[in-house]
Amino acid sequence: MDGTFASTCWECSTTCGSLVTVADGQVSKIGPNPNHPASKGAFCVKGIRALPEWTAHPDRVLHPLRRDGERGSGRWMRISWDAALDEMADRLAAIRTEHGPLALAGAVSGAFFSRGAVVALLMRSLGSPNWMINQDLCGGCRAVSDRLTGLAITGAEDIDDTNCALVVGRNPQAADPAQWMALKRAKARGARIVVVDPVRTPAAELADLWLRPRPGTDVAIALAMIHVMVTEGLYDRAFVDRWCHGFDRLAERAADYHPAAAAQIADVAADDIVAAARMYAYGPATFVSGHGIDAFSGGVQTFRAFHCLVAISGNLDRRGGNPRIKKPAGFRTYLDLLHDPAFRLPHAVEVRTIGADRFPLWAGPEGWQTACHNPSVIEAILTGEPYPVRGLYVSGVNIAVTYPDARRTLAALRSLDFLAVATQSMTPTAALADIVLPKTTTLEEEEVALQPGGPCIGFTRAVLPPRGAARCDLDIATDLLARMAGRGAITQNFLPWTSQRALNEFLLGDSGISLDRLMESGYAEFPYALADFESQGFRTPTGKVELYSERLAALGLDPLPAYSRPRRDLAARQGDYPLMLLTGAREKTYHHSRFRDQAWARKVSPDPRLKIHPETAAAHGLADGDWVGVEIAGGSGDCRLKTQLTDAVAPGVVSTGMGWWLPEAAGPEHGALDVNINAAMSYDGPWDPAAGSTDTRGLPCRLVPVSVG
């Protein structure tokens, strides 16, 4: 199938429109689609180079494998799909008989992709509500806050029409080239850029105003901005009166955060907070948020404060503000599928989802994606509490590297009765499997998804036939399910589609958008209205934007945003862990743990770095490029990083990335306990009381010598 095809890159959540050229059955070129309404010609090296190399990689897993020796021995036997799926069905059915369906769990990145929905529906079909997603480590707090407040703006910001972009905890230059290009365009036409980030990122350098907070204190800044807007009459009184619930109580709470008080908490200048509020008030203004204020134990309160700011300033669903997520009537998203009563287990079963008792806004029937609380699943695997989890199917996530406390994750994987991993490469997670299944890449499979930033429906085209025996998630799941049904081991078939094409047609439903149209242009725009509050309302208990959250109040949690000192600070105060660590800084060459097996990427970024201020380095006797061990308060070991001296971080703050492993190092860990920051992290709380998220930044740490490196 030679030619040039409009498609969508699915290697990260930016989902850029792409043009893929195939010649002689090989991808000869991938580049941006300048017409795409969201990415507008933005693209990155991962899409251009990493994806085709990943697809053609000599070490790619191309056939089902059965372990041949001890778990993790690295010895494998190539087997047929029939043999692999029969064995999987036998083992999973045996666990189901012995321990019940809830002893089976799935793991995947999340339901933004078809693979997320497929893993969830596979587990439900087997009778288990248990599936793990990354989102407690990713965008979970913003999603829970967004739902509680009733905004529906996650992933939707209109930078191109804004007068002011408020960028908080986001590094678009590395994480999102479409956003980065839009910010540069906005700056060029005179829009204001305000950045809140402890690190001097390229966005901070672009900014008119940069606030450098102490990590984890942004909620105080947001509340002080609210206070300024209220006292100076800069908020949208008409919107507040008609559509907001609890404004007076929010104003009262914000009064506790006078700029001078917030400045002290956040270690920024009070004048800068006032200036930020006034710039933001000169709307339309758009809130651009990222991981820097998510994935920590105060994430929901932090997002609640910024979400309240978006609402009271009148920037909700406004051009140049934060549009609400739009979709064509009749179209189903993957999240819609998960919440559709036709695809649900009985409520009595779903409330037993691991973690639903502690975090009902996160896990179980009322949860955002209805998934489990991951650290509680790891606990269940290791202890049998609240009940045993003995069989795990992992697809599209590398949990041995990307979950905190890698030692514990590896111990949990080793202790399972059965582990199957669907993957493209032999990751540390796959290395511990009983059965490894070869997956297609996004050049070999078709995908339809809503792109909230377009807004449009995006289409990823299968431009190549699958390499080797690789198959897509849906085909693997439906074949497995048929075998489980043959063994009398399913509850109900929630995967009625016979092919990915059929699933895609189902999602498109009555939207009037056809696959033919998507294949032609790679995306489909649809008409939508802004500020459709009268007809669409807000999905909250009061039907309004809940500045005061009735759902949080009902759960006995603080219904209004507030700052609370991170519990981990205590250890720092004791002086044992004098530095403050940020993890997760994105690198252009890698997508989390992916592409560590690509020579060009390792040449650009050969080692995991620790950004450290020259003064802090000198105090530790460290020079640029020294290897150093990092220990984190509450962690179970150290990890090895290479220093990078820079004044982009403040003295006392150190920052690193994530996702490091070394495919060439000895297995099964392949460096996951060596150069991986998650080897030094803990996953046992404190957790965000609403979303269950753990701290991935603001971590008290200390530097120790290493003997290797």
Contact residues toward Mo ion (CB under 5 A) are 138
Q: In Å, what is the CA distance from 572 to each residue of 168, 213, 263, 527?
A: 25, 17, 21, 53
- Residue 560 vs 582, nearer CB to ligand MGD: 582
Q: Which two tokens stand for residue 595?
A: 């592409």
Q: Please, what is the Cα angle at 503 between 33 and 514, to 5 degrees?
A: 50
- Residue 8 vs 315, nearer CB to ligand SF4: 8
Q: Which string of x and - marks every residue 195-234 that binds ligand MGD (by CB under 6 A)?
A: -xxxx-x-----------x-xx-x----------------
Nearest approach, Cβ of 300 to ligand MGD (angstroms)?
14
- Residue 138 vs 211, nearer CB to Mo ion: 138
User: What sign has the CA pseudo-torsion 115, 683, 425, 464?
Assistant: positive
Q: Is the peptide bond before 566 cis (omega within 30 degrees of 0)?
A: no
Q: Which of 14, 583, 598, 682 binds ligand SF4 (CB under 6 A)?
A: 14
- Smallest CA-to-CA distance from 438 within 113, 57, 128, 121 is with 57
Residue with the shortest CB distance to ligand SF4: 47
- Residue 154 vs 540, nearer CB to ligand MGD: 154
Composition of the chain by helix, strand, coil, percent to 5: 35, 15, 50
Q: In Å, what is the CA distance from 313 to each residue of 260, 305, 380, 479, 705?
A: 22, 12, 45, 52, 50
Q: Which of 177, 321, 355, 634 binds ligand SF4 (CB under 6 A)?
A: 177
Of these partners, Mo ion, ligand MGD, ligand SF4, none, which one is at the site of residue 274 (CB under 5 to 8 Å by kind)? none
Q: Which string of x and - marks every residue 586-625 that binds ligand MGD (by CB under 6 A)?
A: xxx-xxxxx-------------------------------
- Residue 299 vs 365, nearer CB to Mo ion: 299
Considering only the stretches 19-27, 90-98, 373-381, 580-588, report the one whose residues sit in contact with ligand MGD under the rule CB under 6 A. Answer: 580-588
- Residue 299 vs 458, nearer CB to ligand SF4: 458
Q: Which of 582, 628, 632, 672 binds ligand MGD (CB under 6 A)?
A: 582
Beta carbons within 10 angstroms of residue 289's beta carbon: 28
Q: Helix or strand or coil: residue 126?
A: coil
Q: Tell me which residue has tokens 């044992």.
A: 576
- Residue 323 vs 584, nearer CB to Mo ion: 584
Q: How far apart are CA 320 and CA 490, in angstroms?
A: 49
Residues 6 or more apart from 201 whose CB is under 8 A from it?
171, 173, 195, 648
Does 175 engage in binding with ligand MGD (CB under 6 A)? yes
Q: Which of 17, 127, 140, 169 binds ligand MGD (CB under 6 A)?
A: 169
- Amino acid, single-letter form, for residue 306: F
**H, E, C per residue of 292-329:** HHCCCCCHHHHHHHHHHHHHHCCCECCCCCECCCCCCC
Q: How far apart are CA 93 and CA 100, in angstroms?
A: 9
Nearest approach, Cβ of 588 to Mo ion (angstroms)?
16
Does 15 engage in binding with ligand SF4 (CB under 6 A)? yes
Q: Give kind and range of the element (H or E) at residue 552.
A: helix 550-554
Does 461 engage in binding with ligand MGD (CB under 6 A)? no
**With contacts defined by CB under 6 A, how many residues of the chain interact with ligand SF4?**
11
Considering only the stretches 117-125, 166-174, 311-319, 344-352, report the one whose residues sit in contact with ligand MGD under the rule CB under 6 A. Answer: 166-174
Does 12 engage in binding with ligand SF4 (CB under 6 A)? yes
Q: Please, what is the Cα angle at 515 between 514 and 520, to 5 degrees?
A: 105
Report residue 57: phi and psi, to 5°. -60, 135
Does 670 engage in binding with ligand MGD (CB under 6 A)? no
Nearest approach, Cβ of 611 to ligand SF4 (angstroms)?
22
Of these partners, ligand SF4, ligand MGD, Mo ion, none, which one is at the site of residue 674 (CB under 5 to 8 Å by kind)? none
Residues 439/422, Cβ–Cβ less than 8 Å: yes
b vs e for 68-100, b when ≥16 Cβ sit within 10 Å of the residue's Cβ?
eeeebeeebeebebeebbbbbbebbbbbbeebe
User: What sign has the CA pseudo-torsion 543, 544, 545, 548?
Assistant: negative
Of these partners, Mo ion, ligand SF4, ligand MGD, none, which one is at the site of residue 47 (CB under 5 to 8 Å by kind)? ligand SF4
Q: Output the DSSP codes for 410-425.
A: HHHHHH-SEEEEEESS
Residues 155/452, Cβ–Cβ less than 8 Å: yes
Q: Give kind and range of the element (H or E) at residue 508.
A: helix 500-508
- Residue 460 vs 696, nearer CB to Mo ion: 696
Q: How far apart are CA 283 and CA 315, in angstroms?
A: 7
Residue with the shortest CB distance to Mo ion: 138
Does 672 engage in binding with ligand SF4 (CB under 6 A)? no
Does 292 engage in binding with ligand MGD (CB under 6 A)? yes
Q: Which string of x and - marks every residue 47-76 that binds ligand SF4 (by CB under 6 A)?
A: x-----------------------------
- Count of CA atoms in the C-beta half-sphere (13 A) of 39: 30
Does 16 engage in binding with ligand SF4 (CB under 6 A)? yes
Does 9 engage in binding with ligand SF4 (CB under 6 A)? yes
- Residue 181 vs 481, nearer CB to ligand SF4: 181
Considering only the stretches 41-49, 138-146, 388-396, 501-509, report the one whose residues sit in contact with ligand SF4 under the rule CB under 6 A. Answer: 41-49
- Residue 540 vs 583, nearer CB to ligand MGD: 583
Nearest approach, Cβ of 46 to ligand SF4 (angstroms)?
4
- Smallest CA-to-CA distance from 16 within 182, 139, 204 is with 182
Residues that bind ligand SF4 (CB under 6 A): 9, 11-12, 14-16, 43-44, 46-47, 177
Binding site for ligand MGD (CB under 6 A): 11-13, 54, 109, 134, 137-138, 168-171, 174-176, 196-199, 201, 213, 215-216, 218, 290-293, 396-398, 402, 404, 423-425, 427, 439, 441-442, 582-588, 590-594, 655, 658-659, 677-678, 681, 696-698
